[in-house]
Amino acid sequence: MAQDDRSREFTGVLGFFIAVCTLLVLLRCYCKIVLVKNFAVDDYLSVLALVSFLVYSTLALLGIQNGTGKRRHLIPDEKYPNGMKWWWSCEPTYVFMNIALKLSIGIFLLRIAVERTHRIVLWVSLIAIEVYSLYFLLLFTFQCWPVSFFWEQFRGGKGTCMRLDIIVGSFYGYSALSCASDWIFSIVPIFIVQGLQMDRRKKISVAIILAFCALGSTATIIRIPYIKGLKDTGDFLYSTTDVAIWSTCETGIGLAASAAATLRPLLRKVFGDLSIIDTSGRKQSRNWNGRYPSRSGYLTQPSQGDERGIALEDRDGGFTRIHIGGGGDLSPSNSTAGLTDWEREKDSSEKNVTELLPANGGIMKTVKITQS
């Protein structure tokens, strides 16, 4: 009997991705609003994709209550039309949330892509999948006329529907193009990272995070053999269970991966606070009992004598202030240095800091600070 009812299986998949996607997108919002203070277009689209995913999941759960995942003989006749209605409602919502998700990922990659070739590839891929998605959305929404005939035909309603071959063929095309765009969005970042000034280990870690979207295409590939179930009108709600499950996995993985790719500032804040970099470049354990703990992981100490402040601000809004006391020695014993996180980490970047002494002194001193 278990093989005739797969509704619990589908419910478990929905519950898992609701929890994971909600958590990661909320962390993305915290990271971009609180830490980075730059909530961009791709972040708004990610939130829109999450809201659409929650609507989709709600509709899918309503469908499960009315027969989705069950054999026809297990569904009461009065519930079957409702099950078909909720199944139909899920499909346009699924396409819409993937439109928002793909657009979010594409814009995110376009913001970090510099090379003209990379940008052309990303634009072509993004436009192709978005245009086809719009076509597929309209096709599925209006495959029957009136639209309600999709489920009212099981109550004796009147209307017409397109040939199933057109719907199934278009679904195959959508899956193939979606898979191709996922792989392009996963491979291009690897070439983007190659041009960044960071060590090999960090390049690999960033490339892996950005390329994680390829896992979503795995679910798309697995779903392809099950698309033919759309033709099984006699046992539709059961035959399309695998299509529903793997479509949920596809979007859930993509949404979670795209959110995880933006969490590096949060991870740096959480794990980076456990150590500091001393003047020799070695990591040291933070002195948690120090008088002046620093959020950024730098150990602050009081300065003696006269202090003069240097305020720095880079183009990403990062802020550094250095107080030099005594004879201007920058040793930890008589100086205070505080550093807040940058929006984007710039590894091995160098900044020239100019200290302007009071006008009556008439002396200018330059200090070179290296961030590593």
Please state, in angstroms and rounded to a whole number, the distance separating the CA atoms of residues 134 and 128.
10
- Each as own residue / partner, the long-range contacts of residues 119-124 (CB below 8 Å, 24 or more positions apart, any chain) are 121/184, 121/188, 122/184, 122/185, 122/188
Average the pLDDT over 241-249 and give the result. 96
As a whole number of angstroms, the distance between CA 231 and CA 240 comes to: 9
Q: Does position 281 have pLDDT exceeding 80, yes or no? A: no
What pLDDT does 113 receive?
A: 87
pLDDT single digits (tens) 2-24: 488 999 999 999 999 999 999 99
Task: Region of 364 please: left (phi>0), alpha (psi -120 to 50) or beta.
Answer: beta
Share of the chain above pLDDT 90, in %: 55
Q: CA-based Rg of the chain, rounded to a whole angstrom?
A: 28
Range of the domain at 70: 2-270
pLDDT at residue 175 above 90? yes
Which of 247, 270, 293 terminates a domain? The answer is 270
351 and 226, same structural domain? no
Residues 106, 62 share a domain? yes
CA distance 214 to 208: 10
Buried b (16+ CB within 10 A) or exposed e, 273-290: eeebeeeeeeeeeeeeee
Cα 288 to Cα 216, 273, 291, 292, distances in angstroms: 42, 10, 9, 9
pLDDT score of 212: 67
| Total structural domains within the chain | 2
CATH of the domain at 123: 1.20.1070
Asked whether residue 307 carries a pLDDT value surpassing 70, the answer given is no
Region 277-297 average pLDDT: 41
Nearest one of 178, 342, 186, 335 to 247, comparing CA atoms: 178
> Model confidence over 103-154: pLDDT tens digits?
998 998 898 888 999 999 999 999 999 999 999 999 999 999 999 999 999 9
Residue where one domain finishes, among candidates 270, 301, 318: 270
Of 26-35, 90-99, 209-218, 330-339, which gets the smallest average pLDDT? 330-339
Give the pLDDT of residue 223. 93
Q: Judge if 189 and 256 occupy the same domain.
A: yes
Q: Are 18 and 65 in a shared domain? A: yes
Residues 215, 347, single domain; the answer is no
Looking at the predicted structure, is the pLDDT value of residue 317 above 80? no
Pair 251, 304 in one domain: no
Give the confidence band of 351 by pLDDT, cuts at 50, 70, 90: very low
Confidence class for position 297, pLDDT limits 50, 70, 90: very low
Residues 304 and 325 in one domain: yes
Closest CA to 253 of 181, 184, 182, 175: 182
Report the pLDDT value the prediction gives residue 326, as an integer from 0 to 100. Answer: 41
Task: Work out whether the CA dihedral 118, 124, 130, 132 comes out positive or negative.
Answer: negative
Q: At 286, phi and psi to the nearest 5?
A: -65, 140
Q: For 180-221, how does the pLDDT look when each residue is reduced to its tens digit (9 = 90+)?
A: 998 898 888 888 877 666 677 766 766 666 666 677 788 899
Please report the pLDDT score of residue 350 as a whole number: 38
Quote the pLDDT of residue 147. Answer: 95
Helix (H) or strand (E) holding 68: none
**270, 292, 327 - which closes a domain:** 270
Let me know whether 297 and 350 are in one domain: yes
Tokens of 64: 């499960």
How far apart (Å, rounded) are the C-alpha atoms in residues 337 and 96?
49
Q: How confident is the model at residue 303 (pLDDT cuts 50, 70, 90)?
A: very low
Rounded to the nearest angstrom, the gap between the alpha carbon of residue 26 and the centroid of all alpha carbons in its chain is 11
Specify the pLDDT at position 87: 96
Do 62 and 187 reside in the same domain of the chain? yes
* % of the chain residues with pLDDT over 70: 67
Per the prediction, the chain carries an average pLDDT of: 77
216 plus 330 within the same structural domain = no
Identify the pLDDT of residue 202.
Answer: 67
Report which DSSP code applies to 298.
P
Give the residue from 367, 314, 371, 368 showing the smallest Cα distance to 348. 371
DSSP string over 304-321? -S-EEEEEEE-TT--EEE
Q: Can you tell me the mean pLDDT for 273-299?
A: 41
């291009």: which residue's tokens? 188
Residues 234 and 315 in one domain: no
Q: Does the reported pTM lie above 0.75?
A: no
pLDDT of residue 198: 66
Whether residue 249 sits in one domain with residue 184: yes
Please write the tens of the pLDDT for every residue from 51-89.
999 999 999 999 999 999 999 999 999 999 999 999 999
343: pLDDT strictly greater than 60: no
